[in-house]
Amino acid sequence: MEQVIQCNGLIGNHLENMMIQAKGIEKSFGSLKVLKGLDFSAEKAEVVSIMGASGAGKSTLLQILGTLSTPDAGSLIIDGTDVLKLTGKALAEFRNRKLGFVFQFHHLLPEFNALENVMIPAFIAGRSKKDAQAAAEALLADLGLAQRLTHKPSELSGGEQQRVAIARALINKPAVLFADEPSGNLDTKTKEEIHKLFFDLRDKYGQTVVIVTHDPDLAKMCDRSLYMIDGVFV
């Protein structure tokens, strides 16, 4: 925490606008060093893309930024919280309330309909059924799925499933939305719609968005695009 206070004195307003600050992130799997002292930052409501060849370390970094994995070394401040000091229930609660995740594969629960899938994180956060349902219905309507609330994943197209997954990621109004190849298995038209959707959502809800992608068109749309080679940005 001392480091954060000291930075406040040095940077002032710039730090207040910073949503993510990662410094010196290292991660190894056995003898393979995947991340090599990497620094990353993102401001509030900024959309940042991370590109690079397969194996460059993009998804590993995203998992660390999303608190799904722990680095071997380095520091990570998200929305003013030193997340590497959080463990157990405190970490799970922070992740549930502050972070949203969208993956290439939707990970929707097949036995639940669209509305129920979106409501699950709200229930985990302790919100009432009435509150969770109202928020889920509003989000799904925003995403053009007002007529698909009771449809199960198997009854939805790939693009519709991804929209449900995005709504689920947003249900607790997270500070940061992490997306890992969010349009990787969609057709061209649906891909373009999903790409535009991230920016519409940022403008409406004010999330910081970090996107790992191989898609140059999506990267060009972002406020900032970073390229990773062998565990470092170049």
pLDDT in tens, 29-66: 999 999 999 999 999 999 999 998 887 888 899 999 99
Dihedral sign for Cα 9, 14, 20, 26, please: negative
- Per-residue confidence (pLDDT) for residue 65, from 0 to 100: 94
- Per-residue confidence (pLDDT) for residue 158, from 0 to 100: 82
- Per-residue confidence (pLDDT) for residue 207, from 0 to 100: 87
- Per-residue confidence (pLDDT) for residue 54, from 0 to 100: 81
pLDDT in tens, 121-148: 999 888 999 999 999 999 999 888 899 9
Quick one: tokens of 195? 């790409």
- Per-residue confidence (pLDDT) for residue 14, from 0 to 100: 52
- DSSP assignment of 162-193, as one string? HHHHHHHHHTT--SEEEEESTTTTS-HHHHHH
Q: What phi, psi does 74 have (nearest 5°)? A: 115, 180
Return d(Cα 80, Cα 30) in angstroms, integer.
Answer: 32
- Per-residue confidence (pLDDT) for residue 6, from 0 to 100: 39
**Ranges in the chain, pLDDT < 70:** 1-16, 104-106, 183-187
- Per-residue confidence (pLDDT) for residue 9, from 0 to 100: 43
- Per-residue confidence (pLDDT) for residue 10, from 0 to 100: 41
- Per-residue confidence (pLDDT) for residue 22, from 0 to 100: 95
- Per-residue confidence (pLDDT) for residue 185, from 0 to 100: 63
CATH architecture of the domain with range 2-233? 3-Layer(aba) Sandwich (3.40)
- Per-residue confidence (pLDDT) for residue 231, from 0 to 100: 86
Q: Mean pLDDT in the chain?
A: 86
Q: Where are the domains of the chain?
A: 2-233
